[in-house]
Amino acid sequence: MSNRIAFQGEPGAYSHEACIIARPGMEVLPCRTFEEVIDAVRDGQADLAMLPVENSTYGRVADIHRLLPDSGLHIVDEAFVRVRIALMGLPGTRLEEIRKVRAHLVLIPQARGFLKTHGIVGEAAADSAGAAAELARDKTPGEGVLASELAARIYGLDVLARDIEDNHHNTTRFLVMSPEPDMSRRGDHGMITTFVFQVRNIPAALYKALGGFATNGVNMTKLESYMIDGSFTATQFYADIEGHPEDPNVKLALEELEYFTSTLKILGTYPADKARW
């Protein structure tokens, strides 16, 4: 065992923060892409993967739903990270000296109000933590970065303003993935089961497939559809439900779902994080 958890991005990324929250005792392994994160676990370079799946403001993280079913990995935990945006600059820099900030394209609009008030222009970067590393390296005067405070600590930058996001509820949900499933646990705050399925080509198949959850009292907290194989007629559904497959009502609901589906794959059963509620 390597006692290592892989994530996408540079050190100091919000995914790195999620690793510290969920697995504080593990060494982190930064990767360039989500595919490399998955490969790192499959190849034995890391024991676990930390992958963002959705954001409370921007919705589903692109590509993740497509990657998960074929990853060969299993969800064993979830983690929630409040996206707290810090404006950082070179040591000794004052806020009024900042004329431009760099950050991931998604992060800049989240601090629009603060930037407008202070007359600061935003410029898109491939990665916010990477932008922090570049600022520390290049020492560009008058330039700042929007990123996590963790990035500021890692790269030796001064935090000039904290919590500058317009919406203070903005949260990203992450999934902890492992090569092996763990169905043995029972969480203090309940269990979540995640699965993907395709319905059979019969009238009202989706309605009938989901009916078992209602009649058996199983709460479905997420249902999303997305196209697969570039086809407008091949649709896969991604779902989260409360409960464990061994719970009698969940077992009955899944059996009814399976009757109306052409494929059904459970991606993981794991304790609900207390931050979910």
Evaluate if residue 73 carries a pLDDT over 90: yes
Kindly calculate the radius of gyration of the chain based on its CA atoms and give it in whole angstroms: 21
Banded model confidence at residue 205, pLDDT cuts 50, 70, 90? confident
What digits encode the pLDDT tens for the residues 84-98?
A: 999 999 999 999 999
Residue pLDDT, tens place only, 128-168: 999 999 999 999 999 999 999 999 999 999 999 999 999 88
pTM greater than 0.85 (yes/no): yes
Quote the pLDDT of residue 226.
Answer: 82
Residues of the chain above pLDDT 90, percent:
81
From 62, 74, 8, select the one nearest 35 (Cα to Cα): 8
The pLDDT tens digits of the residues spanning 22-65 come to 999 999 999 999 999 999 999 999 999 999 999 888 888 878 88
Q: For 191-276, CATH number?
A: 3.30.70.260
- The CATH number of 86-161, from 1.10.3720.10, 3.40.50.1100, 3.40.190.10, 3.30.70.141, is 3.40.190.10
Q: What pLDDT does 233 receive?
A: 60
Domain ranges of the chain: 4-83+170-178, 86-161, 191-276
Q: What is the mean pLDDT of residues 251-264?
A: 94
- Which CATH number does the domain 4-83+170-178 belong to among 3.40.50.10420, 3.40.190.10, 2.60.120.370, 1.20.120.450? 3.40.190.10
Residue scoring higher pLDDT (100 or 61): 100
Query: For position 202, what pLDDT does the model report?
Result: 80
CA dist 95 and 89 (Å) reads 8
pLDDT of residue 235: 78
Residue 242 has pLDDT above 80, yes or no: yes
Residues assigned a catalytic role: 172, 174
In this structure, what token pair is assigned to residue 29?
């392994």
pLDDT at 234 over 70: no
Q: Report yes or no: 115 and 101 within 8 Å, Cβ to Cβ.
A: yes
CATH topology of 4-83+170-178 equal to that of 191-276? no
Q: What is the pLDDT of residue 31?
A: 97
- What string of H, E and C letters represents the secondary structure of the chain? CCCEEEEECCCCCHHHHHHHHHCCCCEEEEECCHHHHHHHHHCCCCCEEEEEEEECCCEECCCHHHHHHHCCCEEEEEEEEECCCEEEECCCCCHHHCCEEEEECCCHHHHHHHHHHCCCEEEEECCHHHHHHHHHHHCCCCEEEEECHHHHHHHCCEEEECCCCCCCCCEEEEEEEECCCCCCCCCCCCEEEEEEEEECCCCCHHHHHHHHHHHCCCCEEEEEEEECCCCCCCEEEEEEEECCCCCHHHHHHHHHHHHCEEEEEEEEEEECCHHHC
Computed over every residue of the chain, the mean pLDDT equals 94
The pLDDT score that the predictor gives to residue 231 is 60
